[in-house]
Amino acid sequence: MVDVDSVLDKAGLSNPKVREYVKYWAGVTGAARVEVVSAADDDRLIQEALEAGELLPAGEGRYYSRSYHKDTARSEERTVVATNDPKDKGVYNNWKPASEMKPLLTERMRGASEGKTMYVVPYLMAPQGNALAPWATGVELTDARTVVLHMIRMARVGVEHLNDLQDPDSFVRAVHVTGDLENLGQGTDEDQRWFVTVADERTILHYGSSYGGNALLGKIAHGLRQGAYDGWASRKFLAEQYMLIGIHDKETGKDYHICGGFPSASGKTNLAMMLAPDALGDRYHVSFYGDDIAWLWVDEASGKLYGMNPEYGVFGVAKDTNEATNPTALSSVGEGTKVIFTNVAYNPKTQEVWWEGRTPEPPADLDGWLDWKGAAIADRTPEQANEPWAHPNSRFTTTLGNVPNIAKDYDEPAGVPIDAIIFGGRTRDREPLIRAINDLAEGVYDGLTLGAEATFAAEGKEGVLRYDPMSNRPFMAYGEGDYAQHYLNIVGAAKEQPIFAHVNWFQRDPEDGHFLWPGYRDNLRPLLWLLQLKNGEVKGRQTPVGILPTKEELNLEGVEISEGDLEKILTIDKARWQQEMGYRAEHLEQFPNMPEAIWEAHRRVSADLDAYEG
């Protein structure tokens, strides 16, 4: 048995509740050693991971890791929100009784860290001193060193965040046990994995993975699921899968802040890292606050809606990241950034990494190149020739400080006032480039009926459209009707209302499949139009589903797009939308206590569509 007390004493971890918690789980998991971690331990842990072969060098100050080949994405089927109150059951939160899941997970974890080190990772999912910091403190226990290294990049990590809590018991208990990855039956009927948030006990128990949101418990499990539950239970805030950006207008000196939800792998990181297009760069600058999570609340002093990014780093999709699409991301993972790449292709001889879309063609000289599973590319059979080199959900992990367009005030406790909230998904038809919505209930209604094609970030079928309410479907913590009402309450309480909008960068030509809108940097253009609309500088064109820009209003200087494509992304296909309204009604009917305001919005849009002449 480890002498946990002496380890905690040495680390200066004095919070008595944290000490109790660490001792309990050290006992359950049977870990051979306990080690308390701070961000300052990063260099040493990197060295240890290199020596153990858990990390491989990928050039100067860059690292590479491979996860087990059946452990490459979040598993939504195995992810559960458990509470002691059946009323918390929603359609998407996979609710189960806490009384069933806690013992089950405890048994899975019993003795499962034998021979391993249990790392104690005290963290804060907020800028220090932020109004929501009381809900943002946690302690992850993990038996995987690479998980610790990811946590140090993705969260503020250190004992100082835990010692002086007003209520010493007010931290999230987040236990991660990897398990025997080769014998967990991933994706079979005998699947052993469970990823459980016991939300009303603020306890997270994840067993059976060492990848991404399954294992870095500050990020999705606390930052989204637990955060959302706490925000609702306290009636104080929202925790959303949102990016958060600032737009600075150098001509007027004004600053705007936009946050918004796109489902996984639908462009949040890319939007947050956006450089203004060349033609607009002299006037506008986009700054990065967050790319995956935002917590929103009404600031008591000003009465305005505020937002902040609880994270400290970026866990970004590698695929299609290149100099043209996202030069900012490439700088964020350059030499000396201490980035960790996971599941991309790797060349141990040259220490290079590569992924699909990094360059138009893969490296011509195959010498040394290994695919994401570690198999030599040169040894591929003709049948294997078309398999990707990198996993489609391969990622890079880097701290916010490495992001060239990081906002100057990203670490300030205040957060930023929110001017606009946007929703968008990968939708190949129907959804125009942008449609603005000036009414809170219609905005929330729009978010609740957000649809997107399934992505690689979660296990599931590719290319199938599914509804993803508020881009939060995999992270819903409580009932959707309660969620909608809470959202209406929080945003509705703000003195100045944000403008809502639905955006779509992914509409395709039905014939040849090309994207109708160039996307990436050019996405700034519809956002500028949205801000102008809010300021009353443009009028747009009212349609039943919102206000669309006219061609003339959209700044298209330097954009390459055909007249036909432009026409298409700025119009509404009435028949297709009417069909959609039927699907939406079916979708909303699943949720028993959806607020009447949402149904009213639905009926209003439906009736307007029926009357619409185009």
Binding residues for ligand SPV (CB under 6 A): 74, 212-213, 219-220, 264, 292, 315, 457
In angstroms, what is the minimal distance from the CB of 292 to ligand SPV? 5
**Residues 6+ positions from 232 with CB-CB distance below 8 Å:** 477, 478, 482, 483, 486
Binding partner at 482 among ligand SPV, ligand GTP, Mn ion, none, C-beta below 5 to 8 Å by kind: none
CA 42 – CA 148 distance, rounded (Å)? 9
Contact 449, 471 (CB under 8 A): no
Which of ligand SPV, Mn ion, ligand GTP, none sits in contact with 329, Cβ below 5 to 8 A by type?
Answer: none
Pairing of strands 416-417, 465-467: unpaired
CA 162, 166, 172: angle at the middle one, nearest 5?
50
Tokens of 30: 């049977």
Among ligand GTP, ligand SPV, Mn ion, none, the one that 320 touches (CB under a kind-dependent 5 to 8 A) is: ligand GTP
| Least distance to ligand GTP, CB of residue 427, Å | 12
CB of 195 to ligand GTP, least distance (A): 16
Task: Output 457 or 490, the one with its CB closest to ligand GTP.
Answer: 457
Which of Mn ion, ligand GTP, ligand SPV, none lies near 269, with the C-beta cut-off 5 to 8 A by kind? ligand GTP
Q: By CB under 5 A, name the one of 230, 291, 292, 453 that touches Mn ion.
A: 292
From the list ligand GTP, ligand SPV, Mn ion, none, which binds 350 (C-beta under 5 to 8 Å, kind-based)? Answer: none
Helix (DSSP H) and strand (DSSP E) numbers for the chain: 16, 30
Note the residues at the interface with ligand GTP (CB under 6 A): 262, 264-270, 291-292, 316-317, 319-320, 325, 457, 505, 515, 519-520, 523
Which C-beta is closer to ligand GTP: that of 256 or that of 506? 506
Q: Which of the choices ligand GTP, Mn ion, ligand SPV, none does residue 545 contact, using the CB cut-off of 5 to 8 A by kind? A: none
Which residue's structure tokens are 């994995």?
193
3-class secondary-structure state, position 440: helix
Return the residue matching tokens 């809900």.
Answer: 135
Closest residue to bound ligand GTP by CB: 519
| 292 versus 482: smaller Cβ distance to ligand GTP | 292
74 is in the binding site of which of ligand SPV, ligand GTP, Mn ion, none (Cβ under 5 to 8 A by kind)? ligand SPV
Part in contact with Mn ion (CB under 5 A); list of ranges 292-300, 403-411, 433-441, 557-565:
292-300
d(CA 105, CA 419): 43
Q: Could you tell me the smallest distance in angstroms from the CB atom of residue 38 to ligand SPV?
A: 23
- The least CB distance from residue 178 to Mn ion, in Å, is 22
Name 139's Cβ contacts closer than 8 Å, sequence gap at least 6.
Answer: 18, 21, 22, 120, 121, 122, 123, 162, 171, 172, 173, 174
Nearest alpha carbon to residue 507 among 404, 576, 593 = 576
CB of 317 to ligand GTP, least distance (A): 3
Minimum CB–partner distance for residue 324 and ligand GTP (Å): 10
> Alpha-carbon distance 377 to 395, whole Å?
20
Tokens standing for residue 334? 């350059």
Smallest distance from ligand GTP to CB 357, Å: 7
Q: Judging by beta carbons within 10 Å of its beta carbon (0-12, 13-18, 19+), is residue 533 exposed, middle or buried?
A: buried
Token pair listed for 526? 């519809």
Determine the interface stretch with Mn ion among 246-254, 256-264, 316-324, 342-350 (rule: CB under 5 A). 256-264
Tally of CB atoms within 10 A around 223? 30
Of the pair 265, 547, the CB lying nearest ligand GTP is at 265
Q: Residue 123, SS3?
A: strand
In whole angstroms, the minimum distance from the beta carbon of 420 to ligand GTP comes to: 18
Which residues are near Mn ion by CB under 5 A?
264, 292
